Chains A and B, each alone.
Chain A
Amino acid sequence: MNLATFWFILIAILWSGYFVLEGFDFGVGILLPFLGRDDTERRVMINAIGPVWDGNEVWLLTAGGATFAAFPQWYATMFSGFYLPLLIILVGLIVRGVCFEFRSKVESPRWRANWDRATFAGSALPALLWGVAFANIVRGVPLNAAHVDTGNLLGLLNWYGLLGGLVTLSLFTLHGAIFLGLKTTGELRTRARRAAIGVALAAVPLAAVFLAVTQFSHGKPVTDVTAALAAVALIGAAAAALRGREGWAFLGTAVTLVLAVATLFGDLWPNVMPSSTAAAYSLTVTNASSAHYTLVVMSWVALIFTPIVLGYQSWTYWVFRKRLTGSSIGPAGHAPTTGLEPEHVGGRP
């Protein structure tokens, strides 16, 4: 295996990690206005992802950085070609990223309700658009001879792209609902379980159709296997959710996401961005990759530091493994004190 292929696989792993981890963050954000009946429940939902969401998002930045270093041409073409959808994703991630911190600082119900809506939009838009983007990469975009994407936003909103978007949206929502079932107790947990079953009814057929269409037009024998296994894992996840086996269900959706990414990347290979204009204009693992030395350096860096990152991120999940309840989350970030009253002045009389 040459180094460019190794990096192609590594970038697929980074995107898988991103979708598995931030996938449930998105799902929780999407479900926030619907499952949380009062402020305490919504805070339980937010605090369930509170310690980990920021670290999860770094998987995206690392995927972006790794693409820049290992496949500069791919990074350049993809990010400039998908300019407006990426803008919307960025706006979503920006808004979502400040929501949790800002929401907790003011007690007013209106303030919090507004941030809940913002969390929903900031989670749903990227969840939808990542699917649109990846479906279009697999489908091919109009790259010219200089590898510049000559298409526009409307060109990306074709039926296959939109189907891909609905798949990621529903899968992430399902993944998030199952995660909430794992992390909460009482009524909220019951509601999360019911939501998971409801969302699964949409996610399973959408994903099955999407994978079937993908394999029909772009498939290879190897990815036929991964696509079939992804479908089996998803059905297994839905069945486990139905029987209340939250741990197995969560494992099921996580495996589904990993295998779905593996299928799409497997279908792409050896291209990284096929051109719909002419096959000769496609970006491939070879013509988009960095030079050997850069790949060697980055391989050592990745081999040494990825296990360390995985180690401390896993430890975080271990530290915060317990289910959350209304009483275990304590008061919200804003402590309602009035520092100006004399009894609060100083430590001494």
Chain B
Amino acid sequence: MTVLDLSRWQFGITTVYHFIFIPLTIGLSLTVACLQTWWLIKKDPVYLRLTKFFGKIFLINFAVGVVTGIVQEFQFGMNWSAYSEFVGNVFGAPLAMEALLAFFMESTFIGLWIFGWNRLSPRLHLAMIWLAAIGTSMSAFFILAANSWMQHPVGYRVVPGTHRVELTSIFALLTNSTALAAWPHVFFASFMVTGAVLIAVSGWHLARKSQVDVFRRAMRIGLAVTLAAGIATAVTGDIQARLMDSQQPMKMAAAEALYNTSDAASFSLFTIGSLNGSTEVWSIRVPYLLSLIATLNPHGTVQGINNVERAYDAKYGAGSYEPIIPVTYWSFRLMVGFGSLAALLAAIGLWLTRRRRIPTSRWFYRIALWALPLPYLASTMGWIFTEMGRQPWTVFGLLTTAQSVSAGVTASSVIISLTTFTLLYAGLAAIAGWLIVRHVKDGAPEEPDGTGPGAGAEEPIPVFSY
């Protein structure tokens, strides 16, 4: 394998892994903030127990998200130095803003939230988790603005005579239509992940009739959040599809493996075909659906891969501008499929738990647990689709992935880092997963007086500490 291949695998592995933890960080921080707010308003100790219980899951998950994020900030320079030189003027700005505006906020206020129980006034302490949660969502916005610029470059100019781009409008970059659609999509998808965690954890306890009063509520919250977020994710994804059709027609065509331009394009749910996706043997198709997704019109024209390829050959010079079609085709379907299934199951769950009902069927709890991976897989597939669908470009229309890789880094160095990160990350996942499962099994302990241990003591005793 070349330095390019190795670097791509490393970026893929570290980024997909990083994003296993990010959706829960985004969704659970806000969920915990809501639970704690609700506790302060209602003074119902159940919400305090939920706050602390899910707060601990949040913190274990947050720790892994933070440390894997450090690698993200560094590896553009380490492995993609040619990319960094080319885009730094533009791409560096949202990254630096993310660090200054969002990272400081989340990490500082998380520390205050963890150690500030009983030390800060209840309201001020509540503000800490809200500020940390807002920080995580802001961080997501800046990183999506940076990524959206790679999908759909705006607010820049290519400097004549040099190999780099320059920022011309930070406002255009931050209000890129691609970013304004991607951020809510990722935000709501994060809540699908969060909802699934609430459902799985609560289901585990309810199946054992443990702490029913606490986890019945968490189950309802989880189901409602998953369904609502599922609908919102679908709506925002639909908006993204039309932007993609106009901004990245190759990606849209690759999502369906549509080789020839069509005026009433159908959407296949499943296809058996040749390995490169160019020949179809058998498929299940929904007529007009692709045209409808891409253009809002059942007879709208969707460009085919071959047609876009010819146009790109003329525009960018002869070459291959196709992504790996089976990867885009299947990642797109699996994203939609896993996400829809999660939302559908949540709708059924809401019905089964209506009016304080607690299902007795063992299947309910099995599915509650087994459905946990669905939103995780959906969001992973979403990222694989959007990043692989942009290939062969890193910055669409401006810089290819092959041109982006570091010049001075040897294959042996990348083999060492790829192996190190993969093993280290696997170890972290195993330990974090084990710790979370262990904590989940312990449940949410009762609060003796509803104000937490240490209340009334001479010196404030922290609720959480290391």
A: residues with CB less than 8 A from B are 43, 46-47, 50-55, 57-58, 60-62, 64-66, 68-73, 75-81, 83-84, 86-87, 90-91, 93-95, 97-98, 100-106, 146, 148-150, 290-291, 293-294, 297-298, 301-302, 305-306, 309, 312-313, 316, 319-320, 327-340, 344-348
Contact = CB atoms under 8 A, between A and B. Distances in A.
Contacts of B441: 339-340
Contact of A291 (B77, B89, B417): B89
Interface residues of B, number: 95
A347 B46 contact: yes
Given A84-B413, A291-B167, A319-B112, 9 more contacts: A62-B104, A75-B92, A87-B416, A93-B70, A148-B408, A294-B166, A332-B465, A333-B466, A345-B210
Given A80-B408, A330-B461, A50 B114 contact: yes
Nearest to A147: B85
13 contacts: A54-B108, A55-B104, A55-B108, A61-B70, A66-B99, A72-B164, A73-B85, A75-B77, A76-B82, A77-B81, A91-B420, A291-B166, A316-B111
B297 to A, nearest CB: 40
B151 to A, nearest CB: 19
A149 B410 CA distance: 11
A64 B74 contact: yes
A94 B108 contact: no
A269 to B, nearest CB: 20
Interface string B46-73: 1000000000100110011011111101
Contacts, number: 291
B104 A313 contact: yes
Max chain B Cβ within 10 angstroms of own Cβ: one of A69, A75, A81, A293? A69
B103 A50 contact: no
B93 A348 contact: no
A276 to B, nearest CB: 14
B465 A294 contact: no
A336 B441 CA distance: 11
Contacts of A94: 67-68, 70-71, 424, 428
Contacts of B88: 68-69, 71-73, 75-76, 290
Contact of A344 (B85, B116, B210, B420): B210
A312 B91 CA distance: 27
Contacts of A298: 93, 96
Interface string B82-126: 101101111111011111110111011111101110011000000
A348 B213 contact: yes
Given A54-B111, A332-B465, A61 B443 contact: no
B465 A47 contact: yes
Contacts of A313: 104, 108
A14 B413 CA distance: 29
B96 A79 contact: no
Given A103-B466, A313-B108, A346-B214, A65 B95 contact: yes
Contact of B98 (A65, A76, A103): A65
A192 B348 CA distance: 60
Given A105-B439, A301-B100, A51 B63 contact: no
Contacts of B454: 330
B435 interface: yes
Given A65-B73, A83-B78, A101 B108 contact: no
B272 interface: no
A86 B432 CA distance: 24
B445 A346 contact: no
B98 to A, nearest CB: 7
B466 A104 contact: yes
A310 to B, nearest CB: 10
A340 B443 contact: yes
A108 B105 CA distance: 34
Given A55-B107, A316-B108, A347-B446, A65 B100 contact: yes
A94 B459 CA distance: 33
B79 interface: yes
Contact of A297 (B60, B170, B409, B465): B170
B409 A83 contact: yes
B167 A294 contact: yes
A149 B409 CA distance: 9
Contacts of B205: 339
Contacts of B435: 102, 105-106
B168 interface: yes
Max chain B Cβ within 10 angstroms of own Cβ: one of A65, A93, A328? A65
Nearest to B119: A319
B206 to A, nearest CB: 11
Max chain B Cβ within 10 angstroms of own Cβ: one of A61, A148, A313? A61
A301 B92 CA distance: 13
B103 A58 contact: yes
B84 A61 contact: no
B438 interface: yes
B406 interface: yes
Contacts of B46: 347
B67 to A, nearest CB: 4
Contacts of B459: 327-328
B76 interface: yes
A71 B96 CA distance: 12
Given A51-B111, A94-B68, A69 B96 contact: yes
Contacts of B444: 339
A50 B466 contact: yes
Contacts of B105: 312
A102 B103 CA distance: 21
B212 interface: yes
Contacts of B81: 76-77, 79-80, 148
A346 B45 CA distance: 11
Contacts of B41: none
Nearest to B462: A330
Nearest to A42: B466
B447 to A, nearest CB: 9
Closest 3 CB pairs of A and B: A339-B443, A72-B88, A79-B77
B431 interface: yes
Given A72-B164, A97-B70, A346-B211, A333 B77 contact: no
Given A333-B466, A338-B442, A61 B103 contact: yes
Contacts of B466: 43, 46-47, 50, 100-101, 103-104, 332-333
Contacts of A150: 408
